[in-house]
Chain A
Amino acid sequence: QVQLQESGPGLVKPSETLSLTCTVSGDSISHYYWSWIRQTPGKGLEWIGFIYYDGSTNYSPSLKTRVTISVDTSKNQFSLNLSSVTAADTAVYFCARVPTGLGDAFDIWGRGTMVTVSS
């Protein structure tokens, strides 16, 4: 059974960098695209970006200047870095799998991790 687990600090200071890791278990990270999505009460669900196991990425234009997604195939993990955070980046952050054959749907999600940006 494939499982995804987000991990990282739950509190980040304004202007600092938010860093999260998604650990994949039950399957190799080398077979799919992987994505980060966040959810806020105000803006709802927002796609952040995705990465392929070879390191190729695509980011949301609204976050592109601040986002970096990376992958570590040896650890079966991928990570999100979001720089220069503000209170608007307070959200629940989800990682998700993007399999082939489903039209880029997110078929398996982590449970999500709440990140608060506050001093």
Chain B
Amino acid sequence: GAGVSQSPRYKVAKRGQDVALRCDPISGHVSLFWYQQALGQGPEFLTYFQNEAQLDKSGLPSDRFFAERPEGSVSTLKIQRTQQEDSAVYLCASSSQGWGNTIYFGEGSWLTVV
């Protein structure tokens, strides 16, 4: 596709509800990243995939957060039993293989937990 596509763009969840956020990376991009951006803050790293392999999940804040990319393309970030502190923008990004290649961000999924 032309850019990184994320859905839904906006999600309101009741506390305790499970949510799933989808990311369609740029076609052919090997690397895929998830970031969390709180209001007024810089994005914070959550997890990184190279193809279907999740190489780094050190930024996931709790075991309620789970990400997958089963076929090395589309990725899903799942948050179980959402809490109010999970309210943030979840940004997906992708890049082609190699050092220093531009990382392209999607417009984000805005999650509000009420």
- Chains A and B come from one and the same complex: no
Q: Which residues of chain A have a CB within 8 Å of any CB of chain B?
A: none
